[in-house]
Structure 1
Amino acid sequence: MNIGNQILNIRKENQLTQEEFGKLFHVTRQTVSNWENGKSYPDLQVLVDISNQFGVSLDTLLKEDSKMVQSIDEERAMGIIKHEKSIVDFFTGAGTGIVVSCLFSPDSSIRTTAIIVGIIMIGIGWYKKSKNDKKIFQYMKEQNNFEKKY
């Protein structure tokens, strides 16, 4: 049984319309319909709220729906990847900005120090990017192996 069927059963057992169920979790009737039809999934916090509200364990809600678990894992992984990318962008962007701005300033020890700091920041950005790329490739490899199994 998938998460949509679980939600449908919980809703019907408690004699709630989709609209009433949606109001409990601050979503629209259409969102509840999409959950029940497998077009989308509730986020993890909503699943916790459903579990608490109706006394159904998260294990029961999630365990039988491997697609749902995979979807949550993908969202979590994408969040981590986006966070890492923002760090890489900061270091490379700030480092580049420092180096470029120093090109137009007069020679001084401060300029030299700033250029060195900028180059180090660019290097850190590149290093973090290579580590992040390895994580992405590893994740893609794991996903490919998961899809081959199922």
Structure 2
Amino acid sequence: MNIGNQISNIRKEQQLTQEEFGRLFHVTRQTVSNWENEKSYPDLQILVDMSNQFEISLDTLLKEDSKMVKAIDKERVLGTIKHEKSIIDFFTGAGTGIVASCLFSPDSTIRTVAIIVGLVMIGIGWYKKAKCDKKVFKYMEEHEEV
């Protein structure tokens, strides 16, 4: 049974309209309808709230809906990648800024040290990017649609 059917069954067993059900989880009637018709999925926190509210295990809610589990897994991976990308952007951007700003300053020991620090930061950014790309490609290979 898929998550949409599970939500519909729970709601009907509790004798709740879609609007009443939505109010419990601070979403609209349309959102509940989309869940039930599998046009979208509730986020993980709402699933936990449903589990607590109706005393149904998450395992029961999700067990047979591999599509939902894949969607949650994909969301988690994309969040991790987005976080890693912001770190990469920081290192490469800050390093580039440091190096570029040093190009217009007079020769000095401080300038040399700043250029080295900037280049190291760029190197860290590139290294992290290579690791992140490797993770993305591995994830894509593992989850490739046949």
The TM tier, using the shorter chain, reads over 0.9
Identify the residue that residue 122 of structure 1 maps to in structure 2. 122
Q: How many matched pairs?
A: 146
CA distance in structure 2 between the partners assigned to 1:32 and 1:59 by the alignment: 20
| Aligned-pair CA distance for 1:77 | 0.3
Deviations 1:65-94 (A, max 9, x none): 000000000000000010111111000000
- The question of 1:112 aligning with 2:112 is answered yes
State the distance in 1 between where 2:31 and 2:43 align: 11
| 1:1-150 map, 5 Å | 1-144=1-144, 147-148=145-146
Shift >2 Å, 4+ stretches: none
Structure 2 SS opposite 1:15: coil
Residues 37-96 of structure 1, C-alpha deviation per residue, up to 9 Å, x if partnerless?
000000000000000000111000001100000000000000001011111100000000
Give unmatched runs, 5+ long, in structure 1.
none
Unaligned runs of 5+ in 2: none
| Letter matched to residue 49 of structure 1 | D
SS of the residue 1:69 aligns to: helix
Once the two structures are TM-superposed, the CA of residue 109 in structure 1 deviates from its matched residue by 0.6
TM-score (norm 2): 0.99
How large is the RMSD of aligned CA atoms in angstroms?
A: 0.5
CA distance in 1, matches of 2:136, 2:82: 11
Shift of residue 36 of structure 1?
0.2
| CA deviation after TM superposition for structure 1 residue 106, in Å | 1.0
How far, CA to CA, are the matches of 1:124 and 1:57 in structure 2?
A: 43
SS in 2 for 1:56: coil
